[in-house]
Structure 1
Amino acid sequence: MVLWRVAIVFVIHWSFPLNNLALSFRDRFNQRGVLSDLDEAIDLHQATLALCPPGHPRRSNSLNNLALSLRDRFDQRGVLSDLDEAIGLHRATLALCPPGHSDQSSSLNNLAISLRHRFNQKGVLSDLNEAIDLHQAALALRPLGHSDRSQSLNNLANSLRDRFEQRGVLSDLNEAIDLHRAALALRPPGHSYRFESLNNLANGLRDKFDQGGVLSDLDEAIDLQQAALALCPPGHSY
């Protein structure tokens, strides 16, 4: 009995250094872009997950970390099986984060993002519709004052704009524009994502001009694009 207890303690604690090493490899990949670092992170996350069976308190965290790394690799290589596996892992994570769980909003958001990625790859509208539902649920869990509210507003807006481009339903575009305005209001001058919100709102207004021909929409889009450009000095990645 004592040996079993020692073994259990060893397994529980061994998952921590494996997970931390995996996160460090993924961080280095994000800095340097060397794909072997990401492959190593995935191997380590898989090993960590194997040490976190159903019922383990860190299982949802391990599922999520592996899913995020697989999605990163899909973004690099475009191998759809990585994205499909990530989606399955995100679903498993969400199942472990019921209403009231502190990680539910992030789990909803992560699954939604991966489904939108798959929609962009395969064009299956049900993936996008589910992503929108999930983003709406995540936003409902991120009220005014929540640190991730602007991210949720932006993500939902982008998904609605994608659906507008597929179906041409103007209400999707109008809602996306309203959400982009709300996101921009939460990203004042100096905010690291202000450029993104300026650009996204401008793109939405330009789409609206293309539909309705209202010049004020285009004028506002130009003003926003000029403001975004001012945040991109020579040498900026955008």
Structure 2
Amino acid sequence: MADVRDLDRAITIQYNAVDLTPDGHPEKAVQLSNLASALKARFKHRGSLSDLQEAITVQKTAVDLTADGDITKPPRLGNLGDLYECRYQRLGDVSDLELAVSFKRMAMDFTPSDHPDAPARQAELGSAIKARFERFGNIADLELATSLEKMAVDLTPDDHPSKFSRLGSLGRTLELRSERNGDIADLERAISFNQAAIDLIPDGHTEQPAQLENLGRALLSRFNRSGDVFDIERAVSIQQQAVDLTPDGHPDKPTRLSSLGASLQSRFERLGDVADIERAIQMHQVTVDLMPDGHPEKVSKLEHLAAALQARFQRLGDINDLDRAISWQQAALERTPDGHPSKVTLLRKFGAALAMRFERVGNPGDRDGGAELQGRAAELGSD
């Protein structure tokens, strides 16, 4: 709480500094950029969209006031791109993501390759392009993000304060590539980079929960391939730490709860402890409740909740769980536009759940609806 009060005071002071700096003064852009940074920091703490909106407006003005060729132009472009990426992550508007990529690409292009800030520009652009891959599934974006983040890591000295964050980001990208191409070597490298990031990050650092979440996800991915119980036990433990270290109200709290829920469900499916699936459902339900509509990950979180309820139905046989799972699957499908890379999978899962309920209850509408959904999935999958 003290940190947030400090931010409140800093923002008040920075607004005063902006007001006291005349238009046309060379320091105006500096004061505006500082204000945008403080507003972004408060958004990271509180999740208030108004802070993010104001930060974008202020930072855009700072960029417009900065001449091309000014040494501060690239970092200000990069910061503006980062703010647009933050808004995309919050609201899911693809135009914000494209603006993030555009501004970060300009920032990198305006930075000489031998400049000390070149790794930062590469890492920033890699982050935005990775987000675009996660939205649209274009493999070219994934390869470009991997290349940019690897360059950033290679060019960053071991004692640099951003080394751990760049290692962790590269680890996450390699995990995504492993999921796409099935290459276990990418996954092993992802775990290695994620562990290196955690080893470097100081205890209490604000990014510690994010790095823990990255490692937990990668360990879960390896468990799902190898079945090594040690990996799933570590994944649950690490992701619990990430949740515990993330304050309530933090914009990343829902995704960390969801990651913990996924690991608990995987452990339930392996070891059979009903307490794990109970907690997994709780984590996924809180995630869905906390995550705003329009968030780019909302659909996947609805799907995760449905899957956990379906898993409990298959274990305990309570038809209410299957009814709830079907309701959430329908909600996920309704939020997924045609052409989205997850559309076919959602259709198949929804159809399978209806078929499962038909077998239990015998309602012909479920049988017919399930067959129709599977047919739509087959049709879209053949395009």
Corresponding position of 1:6: none
Corresponding position of 2:179: 75
| Residue 237 of structure 2 is aligned to residue 121 of structure 1 | no
Corresponding position of 1:33: 138
| Residue 228 of structure 2 is aligned to residue 136 of structure 1 | no
Corresponding position of 1:56: 160
Q: Which stretch of structure 1 is more off in the superposition, 92-101 or 199-208?
A: 199-208
Distance in 1 (alpha carbons) for counterparts of 2:146 and 2:316: 47
Corresponding position of 1:5: none
Distance in 2 (alpha carbons) for counterparts of 1:203 and 1:72: 21
CA deviation profile, 1:23-81 (whole Å, cap 9, x unmatched):
5664665557244x544543443333233222122211321232223223212222111
Question: Are 2:254 and 2:290, in contact at CA under 8 Å, matched by a contact in 1?
Answer: yes
Q: Highest Rg: 1 or 2?
A: 2
Q: From 253, 262, 267, give the equivalent of 1:163.
A: 267
SS in structure 2 of the partner of residue 12 of structure 1? coil
Distance in 1 (alpha carbons) for counterparts of 2:122 and 2:241: 32
Question: Are 1:205 and 1:217, in contact at CA under 8 Å, matched by a contact in 2?
Answer: yes
> What one-letter code is carried by the residue in structure 1 that aligns with 2:312?
K
Distance in 2 (alpha carbons) for counterparts of 1:142 and 1:24: 23
> What one-letter code is carried by the residue in structure 2 that aligns with 1:67?
G
> What one-letter code is carried by the residue in structure 1 that aligns with 2:192?
G
Corresponding position of 2:326: 222
Question: Are 2:187 and 2:218, in contact at CA under 8 Å, matched by a contact in 1?
Answer: yes
User: How does the TM-score come out when normalised to structure 1?
Assistant: 0.82
SS in structure 1 of the partner of residue 117 of structure 2? helix
- Specify every segment of 5 or more residues in structure 2 that has no aligned partner in the other structure, as ranges: 1-113, 347-383
Task: Report the count of equivalent residues.
Answer: 228
| Residue 201 of structure 2 is aligned to residue 94 of structure 1 | no
> What one-letter code is carried by the residue in structure 2 that aligns with 1:53?
P
Distance in 2 (alpha carbons) for counterparts of 1:225 and 1:39: 31
Distance in 2 (alpha carbons) for counterparts of 1:224 and 1:57: 42
> What one-letter code is carried by the residue in structure 2 that aligns with 1:78?
G
- Residue 63 and residue 145 in structure 1: after superposition, are their counterparts in 2 closer, same or farther (change >3 A)? same
Question: Are 2:257 and 2:283, in contact at CA under 8 Å, matched by a contact in 1?
Answer: yes
**RMSD over equivalenced CA pairs, Å:** 2.6
Distance in 2 (alpha carbons) for counterparts of 1:144 and 1:128: 25
Distance in 1 (alpha carbons) for counterparts of 2:265 and 2:176: 23
1:168-207 to structure 2, matched below 5 A, reads 168-187=272-291, 189-207=293-311
1:17: Cα distance to partner? 4.1
